[in-house]
Amino acid sequence: MRFRRRTSLSAALALLVAACSAGPAGETAPAKPRLGLFSTLPIYWGEGDVAALIDSGAEPDWVRVELESRYDLVPLDTLEPDALAGIDRVILAQPRALAPSENVSFDQWLAAGGEALIFADPMLTRHSEYPIGDRRRPQDVVLLSPLFDHWGLELTFDETQPGEERVLPVAGLPVPVRLHGRFVRNDSGAEERTCTTHDEGLVARCAVGQGTALVLADAALLDWDGSAPVPERRKDALQALLGGFGARESLPRD
């Protein structure tokens, strides 16, 4: 029931956005490329009951605003083939654990030319109103090991690192991180799936068949608490990572 409810609400919101974008005499704004969003973080719906959030008129999450500034955002509840059909780019932001069929589907979608930006946090620090164990709470520990192992990657975590938010370079960009992970290569991936690690393992770029995946071992960039305006450099870092879609060239390897 929950899946059907979200799907119907997604369709209703899409129709509303399309109607609002129409100009004089029925003219419409140029179509934006579609971007799938698969996440347990409250980016698209917010945290709480979906219908109540819509009725309250609450401000959308800043990440959603940034994504929709350049894409037609499509919330996804699954990574099965039907859900990915017609979508060329996808963001996985601290996703739930994937079913075996979803691992296969997503890997095949990438191999066919899909592009993905993945935030995989081994120790999520984002605040939630829901206690540990509540299904509405974001995924505290990312569970993508089967997919990463297939690509020849292992996500590690250093328990001795500082607990406060820090800014570290990611491909030359200042990106906020907190209790982040590190990727190491285990060379177990198939020949047509090649990953390189960068910035001391904080990021990995994977060539999967005809597609690419840029994977960040943290999700703190997507956080922001309080009423203060989101810093522009935080927005700039997200937009710069989005600009990596379509870039198949490898970064210099550590």
CATH code for the domain defined by 33-242? 3.40.50
Alpha-carbon span 239 to 82, nearest angstrom: 28
Residue 109 phi/psi, 5-degree rounding, is -60, -45
Q: Is the pLDDT of residue 15 over 90?
A: no
168, 202 Cβ separation under 8 angstroms:
yes
Q: Which residues pair with 120 in a beta bridge?
A: none
Task: Provide the terminal-to-terminal Cα distance of the chain, rounded to the nearest Å.
Answer: 47
Q: Please state which of the ranges 57-66, 71-80, 173-182 shows the lowest mean pLDDT.
A: 57-66
Compare 47 and 22 and report the one with higher pLDDT: 47
Parse the chain into domains and list their residue ranges. 33-242
Per-residue pLDDT at 28: 65
Phi, then psi, of 65 in degrees rounded to 5:
-60, -45
- Of 92, 75, 119, the C-alpha closest to 237 is 119
pLDDT digits (tens, 9 = 90+) for 164-183: 999 998 878 899 999 999 99
Q: How confident is the model at residue 128 (pLDDT cuts 50, 70, 90)?
A: confident
142 falls in which pLDDT band (50, 70, 90)? Answer: very high
Using the predicted structure, report yes or no on whether residue 71 has a pLDDT greater than 70.
yes
Q: What is the pTM of this model?
A: 0.83
The DSSP symbol for 104 reads H
Q: What is the pLDDT of residue 173?
A: 86
> What's the pLDDT tens digit per position in 193-226?
889 999 999 999 999 999 999 999 999 999 997 7
On whether the CB atoms of residues 63 and 11 are closer than 8 A, the answer is no
